[in-house]
Amino acid sequence: MGIQEQYRTDAANLLDSGAVKLVIGYGEGSTPERRRPIFIRSAEEVGRLVLDANCIANLSAYLVPEGLLSDGKSVAVFLKPDGIRSVNILAAEAQLNPEQVVILGFNIDAGLANPLPGRKANEFAPLLASLKSAGLSTDLQREADRLEQMTAVERFEYWKEQFSKCIKCYACRQVCPMCYCRRCIVDVNQPQWVNTSSHTLGNFEWNIIRAYHLAGRCVACGGCDRACPVNIPLRLLNHRMSKEALDTFDHFAGESADQKPVLATFRQDDPETFIL
């Protein structure tokens, strides 16, 4: 039995037994290679679930709408390792109770989706630890290395050009599991800290604020990058911040559900090289 069949059966059993009230998974999309999130509430519907190498979106973002988990019932969700990390961060930031999240875990390797053993986020701890020790890389590694080689002025020019394309549609924010705030800072207009019009200054403000808000929280699912209609390589920005958090503070986002936010904690042995 393939993984798709197996997880369809698992989902049906979870729903039938009442263990979960909802399964969040992938369904057919608008083109053969596209997948879209679907929400299954009864065992009869599990035939709509699809699981293959095209299932790349991080579905954890669908766990945080207000009220979804407030009845104490559980929800099952299809997650890759990045999504499992997101669940850990959401738990660490008190946005959900990890006990209510049943994980149907998988990873994609050589064009195939493979099952991952475990049902609750904490059961994936050894996997996440091995990911941490493997170190950070991005599928845009060559571009990331090229940016590192640049002078600060060249890099600024690079980002100026990239950000000049931004139309402030906020698709990056909408797709991101970490952007759960009820009111985003960009929507504050008393005072208007972030310029809303799409010119260079406002675009810089928005994209850099978002990068800072994701520091130590981004799991590199690439959702923002794929969502961006003007193809700004947002992964590069987030990758740089993740690298900083890991190298400087040994912080691998979403390693566990009791991880403290890297920018809000202080340890005796934190490097203080910036203090003169």
Partner 1 sequence: MAKIGVFVCHCGENIASMVDTGKLVTAISGHPGVAFSSEYKYFCSDPGQETVKRAIRENNLTGVVVAACSPRMHEQTFRKACAEAGLNPYMLELANIREQCSWVHTDRIEATDKAIEITRALVEKVKRNNDLQPISVPVTRRAMVIGGGVAGIQAAIDIATAGREVVLVEREPSIGGHMSQISETFPTLDCSQCILTPRMVEAVQHPNIRVMTYAEVEEVDGFIGNFTVKVRSKARYVKMETCTGCGDCIQKCPVKKIPSEFECELGNRTAIYTPFAQAVPNVPVIDRSRCTYFKNGKCAICKKTCQIDSIDFEQEDKTEYIEVGAIVVATGFQVQNTSMYGEYGYGRYKDVITGLHFERLASASGPTAGKIKRPSDGKEPETVVFIQCAGSRDASKGVKYCSKICCMYTAKHAMLYAHKVHHGKSQIFYMDIRAAGKGYDEFTRRAIEEDEAGYIRGRVSKLYEENGKLIVRGVDTLLGKPVEVEADMVVLATAMVPQPDAKEFAQRIGIGYDEYGFFNEAHLKLRPVETSTAGIYLAGACQSPKDIPDSVSQASAAAAKVLGLFSKEQLEREPVVATVSDSTCAGCWGCVIACPYNAIDRKEITDRNGNLIKRVASVNPGLCQGCGTCVSFCRSNSIDLAGFTESQIFAEVMGL
- Which sign, positive or negative, has the C-alpha torsion 239, 242, 248, 251? negative
Rounded distance, CA 121 to CA 119, Å?
7
195 lines the binding site for partner 1 (CB under 8 A): no
Stretch that binds partner 1, among 128-136, 148-156, 161-169, 174-182 (CB under 8 A): 174-182
Nearest to 92 by CA among 252, 261, 263, 215: 261
CB of 200 to partner 1, least distance (A): 19
With CB under 8 A as the contact rule, the residue among 169, 185, 201, 230 that binds partner 1 is 185
With CB under 8 A as the contact rule, the residue among 264, 273, 274, 276 that binds partner 1 is 264
The partner residues of 77 in beta bridges, in order of sequence, read 24, 103
CB of 244 to partner 1, least distance (A): 17
The encoded tokens of residue 35 equal: 């997948």
Binding to partner 1 by CB under 8 A, coded x per residue (else -) over 66-85, reads: x---x---------------
Residue 116 identity: L
193 lines the binding site for partner 1 (CB under 8 A): yes
* For partner 1, the closer CB: 38 or 61: 61
CB of 147 to partner 1, least distance (A): 25
* For partner 1, the closer CB: 4 or 95: 95
- Which sign, positive or negative, has the C-alpha torsion 185, 188, 191, 194? positive
Residue 55 · residue 111 · CB < 8 Å: no
The partner residues of 28 in beta bridges, in order of sequence, read 35
* For partner 1, the closer CB: 70 or 197: 70
Residue 268 identity: Q
* For partner 1, the closer CB: 111 or 191: 191
Stretch that binds partner 1, among 79-87, 100-108, 146-154, 178-186 (CB under 8 A): 178-186
CB of 184 to partner 1, least distance (A): 7
Residues 100-129 that bind partner 1 (CB under 8 A): none
* For partner 1, the closer CB: 42 or 265: 265
With CB under 8 A as the contact rule, the residue among 4, 54, 95, 107 that binds partner 1 is 95
Rounded distance, CA 106 to CA 207, Å?
31
Q: How many chain residues interact with partner 1 (CB under 8 A)?
A: 22
* For partner 1, the closer CB: 118 or 261: 261
With CB under 8 A as the contact rule, the residue among 35, 80, 85, 213 that binds partner 1 is 213
Q: Which residues bind partner 1 (CB under 8 A)?
A: 66, 70, 93-95, 180-185, 188, 190-191, 193, 213, 260-261, 263-265, 268
